[in-house]
Amino acid sequence: MKKIKFLIYLSGIALFLSSCVSTSYYIPAAAGSDVTYLPKPMESDSLKVKNYISAGVSGVSLPQNTGNIDLGFLNVSRGHTFKNFNVAYGIYGFAGQASYDSEFNNRNATAELNGKSIYGGGLRSSIGFYDNAGSAEFRIISWDNSVSFESGSYATFRQEMYNLNASNIISSTKNSLYTTGISTEIIWHSKRNWDNHFAFKLFYGKSIGLNGSLENLASGNNPTGGAFSSSFYIKLKKLIGIVDMNFNKNSGGKLSLGYAF
């Protein structure tokens, strides 16, 4: 009888410890960084077509503090403004690495994540409708898209984690992402200098197939939801700055500085 009680006791401890085991998530690096603000001229601008080039840095946290991803970006885009609608499109490249968060070294995330390389690129586009109100322009709704392609040892690492088929590891093997959604924005120029622009934008969408690539039937702990980002844009004559805050399984922020011509 004592042996039975002892076995029940050990089983209870095992169940308790297994319930405390945290799930590690390995998400494509571009998720949470692929959507960013695409500048477009205002209707009040003398030039209705402009080119933009910028460089940026992005810090991304994998879900459940599994690890961190640091990326550098180079962005080139072109914006057109017509009567009551506008269009922007561009290309971008990125490179960086993943790192293990030592503050959570009691987790199942492996320190082998450290130094895994990431590089890739993609395309972005945005088309929308707007209305004027004095010095402000209400960009009521836009359709935004991003296609990205990712390579590097982090992509290989995600495949290895997926192949383990462990209940406490959820890893996506996707190396390409298509994120699409809608956004709304308000942009205005200063009264003294019409070349100085300020804007705030909200985006909501989805990376097609990302949720399905994260399914782990062994754990039943499958992340859901879409992509969300908020952006603040400033243009002082020809200099531009962009701050993006993103969430798409990964969460993070991006700072970009550039030039309009």
Give tens-digit pLDDT for 188-201.
Answer: 998 888 999 999 99
On the question of pLDDT at 219 being above 70, the answer is no
- Tell me how many domains the chain contains: 1
At 150, which CATH number? Answer: 2.40.128
Give tens-digit pLDDT for 131-189.
Answer: 998 899 999 999 999 999 999 999 999 999 888 888 788 899 999 999 999 999 999 99
Q: What percent of the chain has pLDDT over 90?
A: 65
Q: How far apart are CA 241 and CA 54, in angstroms?
A: 8
pLDDT attached to residue 111:
60
pLDDT band, residue 223 (cuts 50/70/90): low
How much is the average pLDDT of 221-245? 90
Instruction: Compute φ and ψ for 141, nearest 5 degrees.
Output: -150, 140
Q: Which domain holds residue 199?
A: 2-260
pLDDT band, residue 236 (cuts 50/70/90): very high
pLDDT attached to residue 168:
83
How much is the average pLDDT of 72-89? 97
pTM check: above 0.85: no
pLDDT attached to residue 106:
47
The H-assigned helical ranges of 87-241 are 153-164, 210-213
Is there a contact between 218 and 225 (Cβ–Cβ < 8 Å)? Answer: no
Closest CA to 244 of 39, 24, 104, 107: 39
The H-assigned helical ranges of 46-177 are 153-164
pLDDT attached to residue 15:
37
Q: How far apart are CA 83 and CA 181, in angstroms?
A: 23
pLDDT attached to residue 11:
39
